[in-house]
C-alpha cells in the first residue's frame, strides 16, 4: 500500500504521544491541526502547543484555525485529499463537513474504554469514580460526543497510588503505540468498527476549580481519590483561615480513627498532618500554600499552628 495521506489534529502532550508514534513509525502527516497559541505560565507569555512545537521541528505544515467551520480551512484540508484524519485531544469539535473529507474517515484516540467516560476529562473522572481499569479506544468519529463505533480497545489497570498526571502519561504512551499498531488495518478496512452500547455510556464532564475543593465530610477513600485525580491540575484544595491550600499527596491512615468533627486536625507527626474525614483519617504528605513552594505536611505544621485547627 502506498503511504497514506494523514491529517493529524491534536494539541496537548496526550496528543503529542500519538503524533510522535506516527512520525517514528514513518507515517508522517501531510498537515497538523492544533489550537492557536495561547498565554500560559506565570508570565502569561504566548506559547505554542506541544503538538505545534514538535510539528515545526519535523517540518510538518501546521494549521491553527480558531474555528473549523471556516471555508478556507475546509477548502485547504479538502485540497490535501487525505486518506484519514487522526484526532487526539484536539479541543475543537470536528464539523460534519470535515468528517466526510478523508477517504477513510476520522479516527479518534480516546483515553477511556468507551462508552464509559465520553467527554472532556475521562482520566480524572475514572479516577474519581474509583475505577480499577481504564484504557484507550480507537473510535470512528461521527456527529456527536464520542459516540462513534469502536475499532479497537486496549485496557490498562489504574495503580491505586498513582496521580492523574502519571496515569495520563501511561495512557498517552499506550495511545500512541496502539494507534501505530492498528492504523494500517483501519486504512485497509480490516477492522469492523463495533457500535457502542448506549446503556453503558457515562460522561466525563469538564473539571472546574470548585470540583477540586475537598469536602472533609466525605469518606477518606473518596478524598484520597480526589487528591490523586486533581494532581497536577487544578490541584485538590481546602481552606484554612482564608488560605486556599493545595494538597498534592496523601495517604489513608488505616490504624487511626477519631470522634472529632470532619476537617479537624487529629495530630501532627513527622510523617505528616492527620485530618479527620467523614469516615477515617487522611494523612497529608505534600501540601502547598498560595504563592509558596510545595512542602511536606509536617513542614506545614511548623509554619502554622495546627493544634485544634479546623480545615474547611
pLDDT tens per residue across span 271-294:
999 999 999 999 999 999 999 999
Say whether both 218 and 200 belong to one domain: no
Q: Can you give the pLDDT at residue 44?
A: 80
Say whether both 16 and 78 belong to one domain: yes
Q: Does the pLDDT value for residue 40 go beyond 90?
A: no
Q: What is the pLDDT of residues 141-153, one digit of tens each?
A: 999 999 999 999 9
Report d(CA 86, CA 138) in Å as an integer: 10
Mean pLDDT of 93-102: 95
Q: If pLDDT is split at 50, 70 and 90, which confidence band does 2 have?
A: low
Say whether both 170 and 74 belong to one domain: yes
Report d(CA 173, CA 179) in Å as an integer: 10
| Number of Cβ atoms within 10 Å of the Cβ of 59 | 7
Q: What is the pLDDT of residues 223-261, one digit of tens each?
A: 999 999 999 999 999 999 999 999 999 999 988 877 899
Q: Which three cell numbers stand for residue 147?
A: 459516540
Say whether both 11 and 157 belong to one domain: yes
Domain extent at residue 78: 6-204
Say whether both 32 and 134 belong to one domain: yes
In a domain, 311, yes or no: no
Of 119-123, 138-142, 162-166, 298-302, least confident by mean pLDDT is: 298-302
Q: Can you give the pLDDT at residue 14?
A: 98
Say whether both 56 and 147 belong to one domain: yes
Report d(CA 165, CA 123) in Å as an integer: 9
Q: Can you give the pLDDT at residue 248?
A: 98
Q: Can you give the pLDDT at residue 132?
A: 98
- Please say which residue of 204, 237, 269 terminates a domain: 204
Say whether both 198 and 216 belong to one domain: no
Q: Which three cell numbers stand for residue 141?
A: 468519529
Report d(CA 190, CA 209) in Å as an integer: 44
Contact 29, 60 (CB under 8 A): yes
| Number of Cβ atoms within 10 Å of the Cβ of 236 | 23
In a domain, 1, yes or no: no
Q: Does the pLDDT value for residue 1 go beyond 60?
A: no
> Mapped to the 3 state alphabet, what secondary structure does 97-158 carry?
HHHCCCCCCEEEEECCCCCCCEECCHHHHHHHCCCCEEEEEEEECCCCCCCCCEEEEEEEEC
Report d(CA 181, CA 14) in Å as an integer: 17
Beta strands 272-276 and 294-296, pairing class: unpaired
Report d(CA 287, CA 236) in Å as an integer: 10
Contact 12, 47 (CB under 8 A): no
User: How much of the chain, in percent, has pLDDT values that exceed 70?
Assistant: 99
Amino acid at each position: 500500500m502506498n503511504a497514506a495521506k494523514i491529517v493529524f489534529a491534536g494539541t496537548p502532550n496526550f496528543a503529542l504521544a500519538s503524533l510522535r508514534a506516527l512520525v517514528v513509525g514513518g507515517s508522517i502527516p501531510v498537515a497538523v491541526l492544533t489550537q492557536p497559541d495561547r498565554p500560559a505560565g506565570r508570565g502569561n507569555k504566548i506559547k505554542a502547543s506541544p503538538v505545534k512545537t514538535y510539528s515545526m521541528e519535523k517540518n510538518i505544515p501546521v494549521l491553527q484555525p480558531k474555528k473549523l467551520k471556516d471555508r478556507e480551512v475546509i477548502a485547504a484540508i479538502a485540497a490535501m485529499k487525505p486518506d484519514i484524519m487522526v484526532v487526539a485531544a484536539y479541543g475543537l469539535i470536528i464539523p460534519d463537513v470535515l468528517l466526510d473529507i478523508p477517504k477513510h474517515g476520522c479516527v479518534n484516540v480516546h483515553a477511556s474504554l468507551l462508552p464509559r467516560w465520553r467527554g472532556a476529562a475521562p482520566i480524572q473522572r475514572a479516577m474519581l469514580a474509583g475505577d480499577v481499569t481504564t484504557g484507550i479506544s480507537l473510535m470512528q468519529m461521527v456527529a456527536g460526543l464520542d459516540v462513534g463505533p469502536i475499532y479497537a480497545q486496549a485496557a490498562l489497570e489504574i495503580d491505586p497510588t498513582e496521580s492523574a498526571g502519571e496515569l495520563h502519561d501511561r495512557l498517552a504512551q499506550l495511545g500512541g503505540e496502539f494507534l501505530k499498531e492498528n492504523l494500517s488495518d483501519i486504512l485497509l478496512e480490516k477492522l469492523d468498527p463495533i457500535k457502542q452500547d448506549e446503556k453503558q455510556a457515562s460522561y466525563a464532564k469538564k473539571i472546574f476549580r470548585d470540583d477540586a475543593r475537598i469536602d472533609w465530610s466525605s469518606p477518606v477513600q473518596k478524598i484520597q481519590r480526589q487528591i490523586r485525580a486533581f494532581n497536577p491540575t487544578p490541584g485538590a484544595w481546602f481552606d484554612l483561615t482564608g488560605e486556599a491550600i493545595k494538597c498534592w499527596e496523601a495517604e489513608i491512615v488505616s490504624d487511626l480513627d477519631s470522634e472529632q468533627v470532619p476537617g479537624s486536625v487529629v495530630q501532627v507527626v513527622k510523617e505528616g498532618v492527620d485530618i479527620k474525614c467523614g469516615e477515617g483519617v487522611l494523612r497529608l504528605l505534600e501540601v502547598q500554600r498560595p504563592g509558596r513552594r510545595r512542602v511536606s505536611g509536617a513542614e506545614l505544621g511548623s509554619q502554622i499552628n495546627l493544634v485544634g485547627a479546623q480545615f474547611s
